Amino acid sequence: MNMEVMQIAVSEVEKTAAEMKNQGYRLVVMTCTPAVGGGFDITYSFDKDLALKHFRITMPAESEIPSICGSFAGAFVYENEIHDLYGFVFNGMTIDFKGTFIRTSVPYPFKKEIPEPTVTKVKKEDAA
């Protein structure tokens, strides 16, 4: 399985998507994850004949990203999901739910810092 991820600039997103579409690729997934050096990584994965291809953009939080709905109409579910969970704004989505696709009680729940592990704390032994 291909794990190689190609880093691209934000301005190239739409162009790359259109290229992939012309070559007959299928959008598999858009993954949003916190990046190593701050900000967030958005990885676009495409598939053709069961071979995967990944492209990645790295963005600061709450920035604006061009939508790829023009090339892949099915991308709206991922884009709305990323908007609702992380707070990114996608420009030009075919169906824009404006934050109501996934209704969460906490706005943008996945945007926060990585919390401490919540394992059961071992109680300190009484000095006896």
Closer CB to another protein, 13 or 27, in the complex: 27
Cα 117 to Cα 57: distance, rounded to the nearest angstrom: 29
Least CB distance from residue 124 to another protein, whole Å?
8
Nearer to another protein, 9 or 77 (CB): 77
Kindly tell me which of 40 and 65 has the beta carbon lying closer to another protein.
40
Distance CA 72, CA 84 (A): 20
Interface residue list for another protein (CB under 8 A) = 1, 3, 5, 26-29, 31-34, 43, 45, 50, 52, 54, 72-74, 76-78, 81, 84, 95, 97, 100-104, 109-110, 114-120, 122-123, 125-126, 128
Total number of residues shown for the chain: 128
Of 1, 72, 2, 75, residue with least CA distance to 42: 75
Element (H, E) at 56: strand 51-59
